[in-house]
Structure 1
């Protein structure tokens, strides 16, 4: 593990292709009439190619030398983390129950309190581990995964456990046994929450086990993307405007694509394809490859935490789609961090000269 950077940005391509493979298998085994068509496969491969080109360009052309930011104290980060946990606990109290076990509560669980608490916890706990590592802070990680997991969304658990795992990896705190245990907890957590939440849906009659449900969800999400491709560019930026204003982008996608009210995940590529077609998809993948490549170069101190958070949620977007304003806020924090380092004069940005 010390000799290889397993979590460099190219892992996104591996994850995309793995998701495509699971979805292709799922499209055979469950309620889908036909396997995924070639348009889906070719579009995914095209997107990966654009991402790789932008990533290679950044890694080859630009060198960043990072330095630490000193004004985030251990006490401040600990307070922010605890405040985030309290806010989420308050959110559950105000909801009047546990959304994980009640689909009606789950539909209303992503309140404004949650939208503040979740990114605040991610920032607090990852910065705390990255800058002031102490094994006792792993208790906060598990507590956060539990409390936010009660909202009924797998992505929250994956976001917390995945980002902290990557943070610990770059701190060289992952032994083989610890790594296996942590990954087992992540898999069990997301599979268990997904299964329990699906069973709590009123009127559902599924008989899928947790493993089958993962393949089913991948297949269904890619089937939604398959239906989006012929509609490419027809929403003219409406989804993008909804992300940064009001409304539910995923519900809008459900109504627009399937013609009934349902909150849909549509892959990393679906929303931008609906809004801007292949041109928008190309721009998005160029941006993500470039941005992740730059953030990857500043993995020092809280820079490790920033990269871990952004990479993890980019991987989550492979299924859900980039429709969450709070995650774009985390991208913004990464951008601000890059600007701060550059303006402080503690980081040099150099273009490598090409050999003649």
Structure 2
């Protein structure tokens, strides 16, 4: 088998990641504070979701040909660099206005996702990936690392994973990742998210248990899947309320925590939890089918800035496996992907064979 010809980041990587997360959670449910391992209903529901997602990918694979996709040329290198630096400045300003470093203070962390951050993070994410995709230079990797550090100070692993993960995938498709560089990049990603998760958990004043950084990963997977286990009997009982909160006001994750666990906390409920609560198994089926279709089509449009757009969407879909699709900012990335599809609509032809 020629590994160089394998596309490691095609949409099926989502299925692999889901199954890996399920295995980690199952192992974690034995080792930590959970009385029973995950039940078969959780496992079967997740396997069903993977099958539907895979069906969506295969529909595009066999029914659509994408040829001569259109390149977008109006984004200059200078403009992209300027916007990237503005995003870094805004996040730095955010930390100053908060009054400290949220990574080391759970109280500050609870208030760290301000409106400034909601502008700064997606702006940086989009600009740095498009900059790499259109005007790659090794010096721009300094901006990637700087962004991971500055946004990582907010105390959220997902920001670091979003920046480093999407940049890595962009560089992979640009064929700028050698074996040595790839190992270093992956090591930085793993150590970064483990360190931030561990430091942030230790900064919680009410935290009484002690886990090392590796144990914490298995624990978080188990806790998240345990929450999904409690969601399944409640399927369809919120009647779209979580979806409406995503695109209006309020905190969907806090609502899920209060609704399911009966106490206030920011709940990560897997990629499947929110839609199951809102619309039951039918909603889960539609969501996974549409995501499979969408990611497969965006994957075929990965040319020029399309590389950066696909990398961002794929990375945050992978992050959603744990956190759940409750972030309006990330749905904005899906909107950008949809615009990319519209721009290339004339180049997407039905396969008559």
Match status 1:352 vs 2:312 = no
1:11 aligns with 13
Q: 2:80 aligns with which of 77, 81, 103?
A: 77
Partner of 1:119 in structure 2? Answer: 122
Q: Deviations over 1:220-267 (max 9, x none)?
A: 000000000000000000000000000000000011001011111000
- Which residue in the other structure is 1:63 paired with? 65
- The Cα shift of 1:59 comes to 1.1
Match of residue 94 from structure 2: 91
Q: Structure 1 CA distance, aligned partners of 2:232 and 2:302?
A: 37
Aligned to 2:209: 206
Confirm whether residue 195 of structure 1 aligns to residue 198 of structure 2. yes
How far 1:91 moved relative to its partner? 0.4
1:20 to 8, 19, 22: 22
Q: Which of 33, 36, 47 matches 2:35?
A: 33
Aligned: 1:305 with 2:308: yes
1:3-25 Cα deviation digits (max 9, x unpaired) = 11000000000000000000000
Secondary structure of the equivalent of 1:350? strand
For 2:60 and 2:184, the matched residues in 1 are separated by 34
* Separation in structure 2 between the aligned mates of residue 10 and residue 203 of structure 1, nearest angstrom: 40
The CA distance in 1 between the partners of 2:173 and 2:133, in whole Å, is 9
For 1:135-185, what per-residue CA distance to the aligned partner results, in whole angstroms no more than 9, with x for missing partners? 000000000000000000000000000000000000000000000000000
Taking the aligned partners of 1:259 and 1:207, their CA distance within structure 2 comes to: 24
Equivalent in the alignment of 2:320:
317
Alignment coverage as a number of residue pairs: 350
In 2, Cα distance between the equivalents of 1:216 and 1:33? 13
8 A Cα contact 2:234 2:277, kept in partner:
yes
The match for 2:330 among 307, 327, 330 is 327
Q: Deviations over 1:291-314 (max 9, x none)?
A: 000100011110000000000000
Partner of 2:256: 253
SS in 2 for 1:18: helix
2:55 corresponds to: 53
Distance in 2, matches of 1:123 and 1:329, equals 11
Unaligned segments of structure 2, at least 5 residues? none
Give, in whole Å, the separation in 2 of the partners of 1:40 and 1:353: 40
- CA-to-aligned-CA distance 1:67-122 (integer Å, 9 cap, x gap): 21110100111111001000000100000000000000000101111011000001
**1:179-212 per-position Cα deviation (integer Å, ceiling 9, x unaligned):** 0000000000000000000000012122100000
Equivalent pair of 2:70/2:343 in contact (CA under 8 Å) = no
SS in 1 for 2:266: coil
Normalising by structure 2, we get a TM-score of: 0.98
TM-score by length of 1: 0.97
